[in-house]
Chains A and B, each alone.
Chain A
Amino acid sequence: MTAVPLAPVRRWISRRQSAHRERGATAGNIYFTVLFLAVVGGMVHKQLAVVFWPTHPNASALAAASLVPILFGLLYLALRRFGPLALSRPAASWLLPAPVSRRRLLLPSLRLTAIVAAIVGALAGLAVLGHGAPRTLGGEQIALFGTGAALIGVALLLVALAAQAGGRWGDRLDAVVSLLLAAGLVGLVTDATGDHAPAADGWPPARTLVPLVGALALVVALLFTLAVRGLARTPNQRILEAAKTAGTLFDSAFGMEPTFLTDMIERRYWAHRKLRSMHLSARLPVLVGQDLLLVLRRRSRLLWLVLAAALPVLLADAPHWLIGLAILVGAMLAGSTAAGNVKTDAGNPVLLRILGLSSRTAVRQRMWVPGILAGVWSALALGLLSALGDLPSGPWWVLGLVLGPVGAVASVRRARVGFVRNELLPLDTPMGTVSTGPLVNAAIGPDALLLGLPALIEIAQGHPLSWLTVLVQAVVGGLGARAYLAGTTAADRVELHALR
Chain B
Amino acid sequence: MDHPAVEVRGLHVSYGSTPVLVDVSLRVEAGKGVCVTGENGIGKSTLLRCVSSLQQPDDGEILVFGGTPGATPEFWRTVVTTVEPPTWYPGLTVREHAELVCRAHGQDPEEAGIDEALERFGLAGHADAIPPSLSSGQKQRLTLAVGLIRPSSLLILDEPEQRLDPDGRAEVAALLVDYVRDGGSLLMASHDDAFAAASGAEVTTMESLSS
Contact = CB atoms under 8 A, between A and B. Distances in A.
Contacts of A270: 90-91, 130, 132
A276 interface: yes
A424 B110 CA distance: 50
Interface stretch (A291-299, A375-383, A428-436): A291-299
B100 A494 contact: no
Contact of A267 (B89, B90, B96, B105): B90
Given A286-B103, A354-B101, A355-B100, A344 B91 contact: no
Interface stretch (B28-36, B73-81, B165-173): B73-81
A468 interface: no
B90 A493 contact: no
A353 B150 CA distance: 12
Interface string B148-166: 0010000000000000000
B89 A297 contact: no
B132 A494 contact: no
Contacts of B1: none
Given A298-B91, A355-B101, A278 B96 contact: yes
Contacts of A276: 93, 128
Contacts of B103: 280, 282, 286, 289
Interface string A44-70: 000000000000000000000000000
Given A277-B128, A297-B91, A271 B76 contact: no
Contact of A354 (B94, B130, B147): B147
A350 B82 CA distance: 9
Contacts of B133: 271
B164 to A, nearest CB: 19
A355 to B, nearest CB: 4
B87 A354 contact: no
A350 B90 contact: no
Interface in A216-268: 266-267
A277 B77 contact: no
Contacts of A495: 71
Given A276-B128, A277-B93, A286-B103, A348 B76 contact: no
Given A275-B130, A280-B103, A293-B96, A354 B146 contact: yes
Contacts of A273: 91, 130
Contacts of B130: 270-271, 273, 275
A495 B70 CA distance: 11
B89 A290 contact: yes
A22 interface: no
Contacts of A491: 73
Contact of A290 (B92, B129, B150): B92
Given A267-B132, A271-B130, A279-B109, A351 B73 contact: no
- Residue of A275, A279, A491, A495 most packed against chain B (CB within 10 A): A275
Interface in B2-44: none
The 9 closest A-B pairs by CB, nearest first: A348-B87, A350-B86, A277-B95, A356-B77, A355-B104, A286-B103, A358-B73, A353-B76, A277-B93
